[in-house]
Chains A and B, each alone.
Chain A
């Protein structure tokens, strides 16, 4: 049973470029959450999506960041015009349904902005 998959695992971007992070939830899961982890810190919620819907984006920066979870394919977290402060580990989690409590995390994408 495949777990949550994220790619790429490591991503290096120059300032001003775009970063696209992908997340495939566990089989049968239709709820996806994105979290960001800065060095030596805990995980901070960014956005919660269901298929074709953004449910809660209260943790997303107002500019440059966007997320989607299309009907087909993985969820995408997109960061435009990256800056050095965007360097972090980005984790995706999935859950079975909205009444399901457990969230299962992927291995993360480590973004480095040079």
Chain B
């Protein structure tokens, strides 16, 4: 089955700086890679996703890049704000099927 690894497990940045979270996957058949933000006591919220036919996608301060050859994808948050503090999860799937999640990155943005 698919195996998704995520790094780092914790990340602290100063407000205004950028944050980068990286994930690798093992199954070359995976073709959909969402990122979720989970705040304390809440369910995961989809923040951005990318499909395997695209190398990069951007939505305001958030961007995701995908390298199919190397089987890794990354989340980039620019101009971080305190409200970006949360746990971020990457996932991989073959679409319409179960998601395989990474172990999460706890991001703290220091004001």
Q: Determine the chain B residues whose CB is within 8 A of the CB of A104 once the complex forms.
A: 46
- Output the nearest chain A residue to B102 by Cβ-Cβ distance: A42
A residues 26-54 with Cβ under 8 Å of B?
31, 33, 35, 41-45, 48
**Contact count band on B:** 20 to 34
Are B45 and A43 touching (Cβ within 8 A)? no
Q: Does A25 contact B (CB under 8 A)?
A: no
For the complex with contacts A35-B99, A101-B95, 14 further pairs of A-B residues with Cβ separation under 8 Å are A33-B98, A35-B101, A42-B6, A42-B89, A42-B102, A48-B97, A58-B98, A100-B96, A101-B34, A104-B46, A105-B43, A106-B43, A107-B42, A108-B42
Q: Does B36 contact A (CB under 8 A)?
A: yes
Chain A interfacial residues counted at CB < 8 A: 29
Q: Determine the chain A residues whose CB is within 8 A of the CB of B51 once the complex forms.
A: 101
A-B contact pairs, 26 of them (CB 8 A): A4-B43, A6-B43, A31-B96, A35-B99, A35-B101, A41-B104, A42-B101, A42-B102, A43-B89, A45-B98, A48-B98, A56-B97, A58-B98, A91-B44, A93-B99, A99-B95, A101-B49, A101-B51, A101-B93, A101-B95, A103-B46, A104-B46, A105-B43, A107-B42, A107-B43, A108-B43
